[in-house]
Each structure stands twice: as structure tokens, then as C-alpha cells.
Amino acid sequence: MLKKDKKEYVYSKLDELLKPQGYKFYKAGLDPCYNLNTEDYVVSLIFNFKDMGEVYLGNIILSIKVVEDIMYEIKKPNQNYEHVDFKKYYLYTLMDKSYMKDEKSDEYIDTMDQLQVLVDNYVNYLETSGKEFIETYSYLPNVLRKMDELQAEGKYWNELLAGGPEFLLRGLIISKLCNDKNYENKLESVKELYISMADEYLPYLDKLKERLKTVEPIYNL
């Protein structure tokens, strides 16, 4: 199949599903996407059609505005933010990484039958577990509960939170916004992790720590 034919089929099916829900399609660039911009969060679905024939249908990504406003204000050192236009490109808070584990979302496609199966599975994901992911984790207290579950299991928050080492900072913002009684413990844990693994983030952590002193919680857990 030609790449343009693959795109035409995928977009037609997703337009039918997503546009009535309020998603907008952004075609320009190598990573076309659908974004749903709500008052509190943005849902992003990013795609890629590779020259060698693979089709990538992206997992759900959430940008929680109150979190990413602070991340954007602080700004990670040596990071280029020119691409962040708050239209097509956002800073991302959460990713549904379970989809990447459970579904083969990036595979070589050569026939219409293969493409139909891939798209049908993707639509089913968006309508079932993907929809549940949005409903659950667009509410920050649920994010904090999952963070605590992961920590209790000896896992890191990046199984849910997006980004490189800065995922830890997103966790602290969420903790503070939820009036988490364990915020100070989390702060110390993050500091220890940065000292041992990514000490270049320590000035960034200090800057965020000062900023969070002025942040009023919006939830009270």
C-alpha cells in the first residue's frame, strides 16, 4: 500500500470517531495528531507513517493544564520550548503506557486487510480502556493514588507520568496540588534520586520547591 492511501484510510476512520467528540486534527509535520482541548486538560493522539511501511497509532497522552503551567513556568535547563505552541504541541503529563505493552501499535502494514485490523483494534482501545484512562487520570487525586501504589510496589512514577527525569517534578506538583500529607517525604525521595541518578536536575528541583511554596492545593485528600 502507498503511504498516502494508509493515511487516507486511517484519518477517515478517526475523523468519524473523534471529530464529533471535539478533537481537532493537525496534519502538518512528521507527527500528525488529534488533540482534544478541554478546560482542564488536553488529550493528544500522535501518529506516524514510516517510509518502510510501518504505521504507528499513538497511545493516549494527557496534558493536565494546572500541572504543565508550572512546568512551563519553571522550564528545565537547556530545554528548547519553541515547539510548545499550546495548539498542536503541549507539555505532556501522563501517558497510557499499558497500551504500548498490550497492543502492537507500530507494525508493518502492506495490505488493506492488515490496516483495517490495526485501525479496528485502535478504535476499540480508544473506546474502552483508553476512554477509561482519560476519565480516571484527568482527575489528579486518582493520579496521586496511582503514584502511591507504584511507590508501595517499589516502582517509579514514570510508569504513569511522562518525560525523562522531570517526571519526578510532575509528581511533586501533583502531590502539592492534592494537599498530599506525604508531600515532604516525596520531596526528600525525589532529591535523593536526583543526587544518585541525575544531579543536574537539583537546581531545577530547588526552583520548583520554592515555586510550590506559593501553590495552593485544589484538592484535599
pLDDT tens per residue, the chain (221 residues)? 888 999 999 999 999 999 999 999 998 667 899 999 999 999 999 998 888 888 889 999 999 999 999 998 887 655 556 667 777 778 899 999 887 545 455 678 889 999 999 999 999 999 999 999 999 999 999 999 999 999 999 999 999 999 989 999 999 999 999 999 999 999 999 999 999 998 999 999 999 999 999 999 999 87
Same domain, 102 and 7: yes
Choosing from 117, 137, 157, the residue where a domain stops is 137
Q: What's the structural domain count of the chain?
A: 2
Q: Which three cell numbers stand for residue 178?
A: 492534592
Together in a domain, 39 and 124: yes
Q: Is residue 83 a part of any domain in this protein?
A: no
Q: Do residues 19 and 105 share a domain?
A: yes
Whether residue 22 sits in one domain with residue 124: yes
Look at residue 48 in the predicted model and tell me its pLDDT. Answer: 87
- Do residues 52 and 150 share a domain? no
Question: Of 107, 137, 167, which closes a domain?
Answer: 137
Do 131 and 152 belong to one domain?
A: no
With a threshold of 0.85, does the pTM exceed it?
yes
Range of the domain at 179: 140-212
127 with 147, same domain: the answer is no
200 vs 215: CA distance, rounded Å: 24
Within this chain, do residues 127 and 150 fall inside the same structural domain, yes or no?
Answer: no
Q: Which of 137, 165, 200 is the last residue of a domain?
A: 137
39/123 same-domain check: yes
